[in-house]
Amino acid sequence: MAIQAFQLTKSFGNYLIFEDLSFEIPKGECFALFGSNGAGKTTLLRVLATLVRPTSGRFSILDHDGLTEKEPVRQAIMFLAHGSHLYDDLNAQENLRFAMAMRGQHPSSKELKLCLDQVNLGAFAEMKTRNFSAGMKRRLALAKVILAQPQVLLLDEPYNALDEGGVEVTNHIIRDMTKRAGIVVMTTHDREKATQVAHRTGLLHQGILTFSSTDNSTAHAIF
Amino acid sequence: MPFFRVIQWVVWKDLISELRSRETLSSMLFFALIVILVFSFSFAMDQDAAQQLIAGIIWVSFVFTGIIGLGKSFSAELQNDAIEYLQMSPAPKGAIYLGKMIGNLLFMLVVEIMLFPLFVLFFNLDIVEEIGLLLLIFFLATLGLSAVGTLFSALTVQIRAREVMLPVLLLPLAVPVMIAAVEATRGALEGQPLVIYSQWIELLTIFDIIFTVVSFWLFDLILDS
């Protein structure tokens, strides 16, 4: 199994966010997590992204313990969160260069241009991201995924602020990743868009996670 | 992952951002100019007192100006939650720390180099013979402040009262650096033989090493928490 969680519990003070979550996500699967506001979806993603330590329980990503072997886990994952993780005074290309350098990757100018073209930002390569709309920032974050080619992609509300073209780019990246035996975990409220690419969905409600399959569930069986 | 390339990229990112926004340098310079003007008017009638206190005046200006720059150092990482990307990047956290520290050191040194001629002008200082030593003292003391200040900037960036907490936490630790810097600067400005105040320069060097090494090791813990 690529992602394994065992009895994960997270609480903030007296507030229990989720308790004893145990699940497994195999390689080549896109798992979409639904749930109402405050259900703990984002917190669960932040735990898997090694940004937040669980109160108790363990998890592993690609056989690396998420609590004790953070570096290999961080090398494998990429997390697109609510914030775009961009620097407003750098332009699109510079933001990509810096983000990749922090992962030990150094793409050429040609690769950067190709990647920006893929997310329809080719014409804005030299523009400071301060002047980008929320949707453009989201697209630029997707460009990082294309360049980084992570083994595990964690997406928090990936369709927010995106137009139809942006949604198509997102779903294309997700399909491409799962075809390469990568893993995608996303949280979203948009069931319609998510079920186009998800092999399995889950509902996080009152700290309990329940699973169900989608029409795409057979797609990952070949990997 | 190449350690020194990460340092280079972090310095590059901070310098490019600052060159475009000029946010940190302009606020540091503006504050420092006000401080110099206030001190120069306060001592306009009493040049003897000014000469006796000038080393302290210089370092009060430099330290408080530096705190403004240090406060802005990590707040830039809060834009679009960019600090999260650094937290979960596989890059060595020590390299990120050194990159941020070098950036802060450069900003502080640039401001000091721009301000010092104003001190010379307003307080009629004779620095021709000791300029090399003075620059060494400025560098060593600023390195110490930047080493510990970068760590505390990271520590306080995610708390609400960070503008207050940074100086409250930083100044007590910076006191030894400030004392050594003032004593060494006074010795150099008064034209004393180097042997009389060289122990303060040695002390600055020791503080620099301790602060840099300890901060380097603690940074990973602070960024992860």
Q: Mind listing the pLDDT tens digit for each residue in B106-126?
A: 999 999 999 999 999 888 888
Q: Which of A70, A81, A102 is the closest to B86 by Cβ?
A: A102
If one counts the domains in chain B, the total is 1
For chain A, what is the mean pLDDT? 91
Q: How buried is residue B176: exposed, middle or buried, by Cβ count under 10 Å (0-12/13-18/19+)?
A: middle
Instruction: List beta partners, residue A77.
Output: A152
What is the three-class DSSP state of B207?
A: helix
- Tell me the pLDDT tens digit for each residue of A176-215: 999 999 999 999 999 899 989 999 999 998 888 888 776 6
Looking at residue A219, the DSSP 8-state letter turns out to be G
Q: Are A93 and A119 in contact (CB under 8 A)?
A: no
**Is 50 exceeded by the pLDDT of residue A222?**
no
CATH no. for residue A138? 3.40.50.300
- Specify the number of domains making up chain A: 1
Q: pLDDT, tens digit, for every residue of B133-175?
A: 999 999 999 999 999 999 999 999 888 888 888 999 999 999 9
Q: Do B82 and A94 touch (CB under 8 A)?
A: no
pLDDT score for A216? 65
- Does the pLDDT value for residue A115 go beyond 80? yes
What is the ipTM metric for this complex? 0.89
- Interface residue B87 vs chain A (CB under 8 A): yes
Nearest one of A58, A66, A71, A76 to A22, comparing CA atoms: A58
Nearest CA in chain A to B17: A89
Which residues, in sequence order, are CB contacts of B1 under 8 Å at separation 6+? A103, A104, B90, B91, B92
Domain extent at residue A154 = 3-222
In the predicted structure, residue A13 carries a pLDDT above the cut 50: yes
- The whole domain housing B105 covers 3-224
The answer to whether the Cβ–Cβ distance between A82 and B85 falls below 8 Å is: no
Q: How many CB pairs under 8 A join A and B?
A: 76
Query: For residue A81, which residues of chain B lie inside 8 Å, CB to CB?
Result: 81, 84
How far is the C-alpha of B40 from the C-alpha of A163, rounded, in Å? 59
Is pLDDT of B193 > 70?
yes
Tell me whether residues B88 and A104 touch, CB distance under 8 A.
no
Looking at beta carbons, which residues of chain A come within 8 Å of B20?
Answer: 89, 128
Q: Are B216 and B152 in contact (CB under 8 A)?
A: no
SS3 label, residue A11? strand
Quick: pLDDT tens for B46-105.
Answer: 777 777 889 999 999 999 999 999 998 888 899 889 999 999 999 999 999 999 999 999
pLDDT one-digit tens code per residue, A25-81: 999 999 999 999 988 999 999 999 999 999 999 999 999 999 999 999 999 999 999
Q: What is the mean pLDDT of residues A94-113?
A: 96
Residue B42: pLDDT over 90: no
Q: What's the pLDDT at A144?
A: 96
Of the candidates B160, B123, B124, the residue with the CA atom closest to the CA atom of residue B41: B123
Statement: residue A218 has pLDDT above 50:
no
CA distance A79 to chain B (A): 8
B98: Cα separation from own chain's centroid: 14
| Nearest beta carbon to residue B80 from set A49, A74, A86 | A86
DSSP secondary structure of B33-94: HHHHHHHHHHTTT-HHHHHHHHHHHHHHHHHHHHHHHHHHHHHGGGGGGHHHHHHHSSS-HH
A72: nearest CA in chain B?
A: B90
